[in-house]
Amino acid sequence: MKKVAHQGRALFTCRREPQAVMLTVDEYKTLVKASHAADRMNASALELRKQFDEHLSALKSPDAGHLLREVSNTVTKLGGMVKAGTSF
């Protein structure tokens, strides 16, 4: 208990193999908070991937090659503006 109080956690082993961990309540709360943050980041990454896959699926249409060549051959006048996203 002294080690837990001093370091916030203690590892228990059997024949040099980790068997159990004891944490202070503060250390446990820190781990739970980090886990929730990681879950939110993972959910955001999955949503971003879903959106990317939806946009990429447009390349599977039969006329995708023709449309891509048409866009590539079009002269665009930016007029000092940047075109990005779905606005162009």
Please give the Cα distance from 57 to 76 (Å, whole number): 25
Please give the Cα distance from 43 to 47 (Å, whole number): 6
Closest CA to 8 of 19, 21, 24: 24
Task: Let me know if residue 50 belongs to a domain.
Answer: yes
- Quick check: 88 pLDDT over 60? no
Task: Let me know if residue 48 belongs to a domain.
Answer: yes
Task: Let me know if residue 56 belongs to a domain.
Answer: yes
Task: Let me know if residue 42 belongs to a domain.
Answer: yes
- Quick check: 1 pLDDT over 60? yes
- How many domains are there within the chain? 1
Task: Let me know if residue 51 belongs to a domain.
Answer: yes
Task: Let me know if residue 30 belongs to a domain.
Answer: yes
Task: Let me know if residue 37 belongs to a domain.
Answer: yes
Q: Quick check: 21 and 10 in contact, CB under 8 A? A: yes
Q: Which residue has the higher pLDDT, 38 or 88?
A: 38
- Find all residues with CB under 8 Å of 10, minimum gap 6, and list them: 3, 4, 21, 22
**Report field, pTM of the whole predicted structure over 0.75:** no
Task: Let me know if residue 34 belongs to a domain.
Answer: yes
Query: What is the predicted pLDDT for the residue at 2?
Result: 78
Q: Quick check: 9 and 22 in contact, CB under 8 A? A: yes
Residue 3 main-chain phi, psi, to 5 deg: -65, -45
Domain residues for the domain of 39 are 24-60
User: Tens digit of pLDDT for each residue in 6-59?
Assistant: 788 889 999 999 999 999 999 999 999 999 999 999 999 999 999 999 888 888
Query: What is the predicted pLDDT for the residue at 68?
Result: 83
- Quick check: 66 pLDDT over 80? yes
